[in-house]
Amino acid sequence: MSERDVFEYALLRVVPRVQRGEFFNAGVVVYCRARGYVAARTHLDETKLMALDPTADVIGVRAALHAVEGVCLGGTDAGQAARDDAGRRFRWLIAPRSTVVQPSPVHSGLTADPAAEVERLLELLVR
């Protein structure tokens, strides 16, 4: 059996009308400290978004989700976060906020392949 490491993850929730508190899952952020790994994958279900708020800014929500993916990747697309290590980027992304895209509470598990875990969680909890 291959070595398994602890990983943490949070779902990315779309809350079109923050005052109503209704949301749906649109992505996942995974962090594995032992491997210095952080990644996000997103999938915006526009039908769900329009059902919760027919006036929602689809382009803006999609941009916010893609921004999370960019911060995880680092580099110039991450802005100031580009200088931070994977753990700091993850902690910044999962900090509570009152915006249209919000993180869920953090959960944890064990994995031998954090990259595969991102895809598994996206399929299981988002799609």
**Structure confidence by residue, pLDDT tens digits, 37-63:** 999 999 999 999 999 999 999 999 999
pLDDT of residue 53: 95
DSSP 117: H
CA distances to 3, 9, 69, 76 from 125, in Å: 25, 12, 17, 30
Domain that holds residue 95: 5-125
pLDDT of residue 106: 97
Whole-angstrom distance, CA of residue 75 vs CA of residue 77: 6
Q: Structural domain tally of the chain?
A: 1
DSSP 28-91: EEEEEGGGTEEEEEE---HHHHHHH-TT--HHHHHHHHHHHHHHHH-SGGGGGGGGS-HHHHHH
The tokens for 60 are 């803006």
Residue with the larger pLDDT of the pair 25 and 76: 25
pLDDT of residue 73: 86
Whole-angstrom distance, CA of residue 126 vs CA of residue 12: 9
